[in-house]
Chains A and B, each alone.
Chain A
Amino acid sequence: MADRPVEPVTSAYYHARAARAGIPLDGTFELTARCNFDCRMCYVHGAAQTSDGELSAGQWIALAREARDAGLLYLLLTGGEPLVRSDFCEIYEATAQMGFLISVNTNGSLLTDAHYDLFDRYPPMRVNVSLYGADDDVYEYVTGRRQLDNVCGAIRRLRAMDVPVTVNFIANRVNAGQIEEILALADSLGAIVRPTAYIYPPLRAACHGEDCDLRPSARDAAAAHYRIQALRSGPQRMRAIADGLIRPDEEGCVDDRAPDGRMRCRAGKSAFWVTWDGRLLPCGMLTKPAVPLAPGGFAAAWERLKAETAAIRMPQNCVACPDYRHCQVCAAMCLCETGRFDETPPYMCAMTKEVLRLFRQGRDVS
């Protein structure tokens, strides 16, 4: 069965130190909102597929230098689909020489010999490939494209080059029945799987067709989450989750107790996100706080972002909830689901309660 991603101890150590010191250790560059796929549930997909307003390669490279000087170490290049940019190789090659550990998010369908040659000369730390289904009918429904074979071929080629690959898989209404197949497929390709059963409402995207919302009900999302954990965990781990010793979503963003109601993740503490049009966010799922980035202004923007993020408080109902420490609720979920930071998202609340019920039920009958 495909391995679960485990954060290296060194990464956790440096992130903890960076969060305490307020250093922007971990950054995401959202190079574009454009994509050659047309996924119904995309979080950033724009109705217009144009490069207008995108930062130029020179601007991204200059920004990378500024962020490096401020302490950036882990850099993720993402989109949309970053490889739609004709200057992706220019951006990647320049940043790969700056002393970052670089990862790339991609749908895996646009890799060419030029990209493979580039990754051979400058291996990424990891390539994260999204898999949307285990057959092309599901692929086409979700993404508008029949690309499964092409994507699997790309993963094989990357693995043959010894490039670590993580498969990102989001269980939705259409592909949730293929969880076992996806896990087996990733395993056969030599990839680690990072599955999730929670889909953020697409706050930053334009609805671009019918059936944009592939979110299952909270109850069905919980069932998918439980099934994923059951397939990847032995009985001891399942029992530890049921007994409250391990959180049900170890691989999520939450990594801090923060009992005073502050955000529990690294966003705006040691992590940041730069949008395709040059705004600095704590996290790509948020629309605020957003600080415009001027040339030469990264350090000041980061200080402002930290201050504004530190003022965010989770809903009191969540902080006081006995299941809070087991719940993956975050500020982005609150904002996306309710429009406010201080309002409990009913969907996540229902999903967590159902997840915990399933784990406890599983423990009690075993």
Chain B
Amino acid sequence: MKINGTYVLRHIGDDWLLVPVGRTLRENRGLFPLTETGADIWRLLPSCADAQAVADALTEVYDAPREVLLADVRAFLDELRKLGVIA
């Protein structure tokens, strides 16, 4: 999945943050706090083509029904789209 711009995922204490880097900082100022699950999803995005693929990968890590994971993934990706982070 293509990410618009460059972000660095930071884990500071108990907090997960997406920090825009380079010209992305001008377009998307500020920090993006993530949950731990959000951070797991974020790390899968470059290697997954769509929400289904992300949910499939998460089933390897999370003990939850696939349809629940898929719903969470879709909600997270919708938020990223609203912020312009993904297409």
Taken together as a complex, chains A and B put the C-alpha atoms of A101 and B12 apart, in Å, by: 14
Do B26 and A162 have beta carbons less than 8 Å apart? yes
Q: Is the CB of B19 within 8 A of A99?
A: yes
B71 CB-CB contact with A under 8 Å? no
Complex Cα spacing A366 to B31, Å = 43
B16 to chain A minimum Cβ distance, whole angstroms, is 12
Within 8 A of B (CB), among A14-31: 14, 17-18, 21, 23, 25
Q: Are A121 and B22 in contact (CB under 8 A)?
A: yes
User: Roughly how many angstroms separate A98 CA and B13 CA in the complex, as a whole number?
Assistant: 17
Contact residues, A210-252 vs B (CB, 8 A): none
Evaluate whether A73 and B19 lie within 8 angstroms (CB atoms) in the complex, with A14-B12, A23-B13 already known: yes
Contacts of A362 in B (CB 8 A): none
Q: Report the Cα distance A120→B13, complex, angstroms.
A: 31
Docked Cα-Cα span, A23 to B10, in Å, equals 13
Nearest residue in A to B12 (C-beta to C-beta)? Answer: A71
**B26 to chain A: which residues have CB within 8 Å?**
123, 162
Q: Which listed residue, A17, A71, A73, A122, touches B21 by the CB 8 Å rule?
A: A122
Q: Are B22 and A17 in contact (CB under 8 A)?
A: no
A100 touches B19 (CB 8 A): yes
Report the count of interface residues on A (CB-CB < 8 A). Answer: 23
Known interface pairs A10-B30, A10-B31; A73-B12 also in contact (CB < 8 Å): yes
Q: Which residues of chain A from 42 to 100 have any CB-CB distance to chain B below 8 Å in the complex? A: 68, 71, 73, 96-100
Interface size on B, residues (CB 8 A): 17
Q: Which residues of A contact B12 (CB under 8 A)?
A: 14, 18, 23, 25, 71, 73
CB distance from B14 to the nearest CB of A (A): 8
- Give Cα A108 to B13, complex, Å: 35
Residue B8 lies at the interface, judged by CB distance under 8 Å to chain A: yes
A358 close to chain B: CB less than 8 A: no
Whether A99 and B8, one on each chain, are in contact in the complex, defined by CB atoms closer than 8 angstroms, is: yes
Bound together, the chains give a CA A121 to CA B12 distance in angstroms of: 26
| B residues near A17, Cβ cutoff 8 Å | 13-15
Interface centre among B12, B15, B19, B22 (most CB of A within 10 A): B12
**Counting CB contacts under 8 A, is B17 at the interface?**
yes
- B23 adjacent to A121 (CB under 8 Å): yes
Contact present for B17 and A71 (CB under 8 Å): no
Given contacts A10-B30, A98-B8, A99-B8, contact A21 B13 (CB under 8 A): yes
CB neighbours (8 Å) of B8 from chain A are 97-99
For the complex, give the distance between the alpha carbons of A71 and B17 in Å. 11
Does B83 sit within 8 A of A, measured CB to CB?
Answer: no
Give complex CA distance A98, B10 in Å: 9
B25 interface contact, C-beta 8 A:
yes
Task: Give complex CA distance A125, B30 in Å.
Answer: 9
Residues of chain B within 8 A (CB-CB) of A73 are 10, 12, 17, 19
Q: A22 to nearest B CB, angstroms?
A: 9
The residue of chain B having its C-beta at the shortest distance from the C-beta of A21 within the complex is B13
A97 and B22 contact, Cβ closer than 8 Å, known pairs A10-B30, A73-B17: yes
Q: Which of these, B10, B13, B33, contacts A99 with CB under 8 Å?
A: B10
Cβ-neighbour of B13 out of A10, A71, A97, A121 (below 8 A) = A71
Verify A123–B30 contact, CB threshold 8 A: no
A residues whose Cβ falls under 8 Å from a Cβ of B: 8, 10, 14, 17-18, 21, 23, 25, 68, 71, 73, 96-101, 120-123, 125, 162
- Listed A/B pairs (15) with beta-carbon separation below 8 Å: A10-B31, A17-B14, A21-B13, A21-B14, A25-B12, A68-B10, A71-B13, A73-B10, A73-B17, A96-B22, A97-B8, A98-B8, A99-B10, A100-B19, A101-B19
8 closest Cβ pairs, A-B complex: A99-B8, A99-B19, A71-B12, A21-B13, A123-B26, A99-B10, A123-B25, A23-B13
